[in-house]
Amino acid sequence: MAHHKVLFGFHAVTVRLKTAPDSIVEVLFDNSRRDARMKQFLARAQEAGVRLIEADVTRIAKLAGSHGHQGVAARVKEVAQQRSLDDLLDALERDGHAPLLLVLDGVTDPHNLGACLRVADGAGAHAVIAPKDHAAGINATVAKVASGAAETVPYFMVTNLARCLGELKERGIWVTGTSEDAPQTIYQTDLRGPTALVLGAEGPGMRQLTRKSCDALARIPMMGAVESLNVSVASGVCLYEAMRQRQG
């Protein structure tokens, strides 16, 4: 039997309906929910021609592996990533776009990864990069939290993160790591050119080798009692500052 993955929640399933409806095997929906949001979702699914199955919340929760499914879950075929990181960067170079990349070092919590993908999509980042070890992969929880961004933002897991950062630098991409002891703030950092922003997990931060692989370090100024931000919040601060500078 072919391997299928599960998406759940309105955002995650709706984005798949928009981007790759042919990959959807079936959609289970809560037959007791008749509000406007469900009606709109079902109309979109029927228009896409996907198989709809009425189910109770217990069956949907069992499929989703979570009670936060909002009454919607889908079995879907894997959609192959269209290109490699090198292909993506080559295409950006051909089109004259300055890459904006988010690099996550040691982010293992799927909720954090999902939130980072959502922020990356909102800020227009071209890709998110993480090591194959010590990192979360894309699963149903990530897709749910990402609210569809797991389907739109390329996520590349690399064997050796330090080597990958070195290769980015060879392409002229400036690698800026975040650290609370950095001499300058993210607002004093020029993010208008080809940029890779590197963030570590909350608490330990970047690994030492990753830190040494950065061209520069920047910090997010903290004015209150707490010493650090959740990695997804910090990603949002940094990526949106890059977007502000580029639009300005």
Annotated binding site for S-adenosyl-L-methionine: 200, 220, 229
3-class secondary structure for 210-246? HHHCCCEEEECCCCCCCCCCCHHHHHHHHHHHHHHHH
| HSE toward the beta carbon, residue 125, CA cutoff 13 A | 31
Cβ(174)–Cβ(193) below 8 Å:
yes
Per-residue tokens: 34 = 């008749």
Distance between first and last Cα of the chain: 52
Distance of CA 189 to CAs 105, 194, 204, 231, Å?
20, 13, 23, 19
- Sequence length of the chain is 248
Q: How far apart are the C-alpha atoms of 234 and 237, rounded to whole Å?
A: 5
Q: How far apart are the C-alpha atoms of 34 and 103, rounded to whole Å?
A: 41
Residues belonging to the binding site are: 200, 220, 229
Cβ(12)–Cβ(148) below 8 Å:
yes
Q: How far apart are the C-alpha atoms of 117 and 123, rounded to whole Å?
A: 10
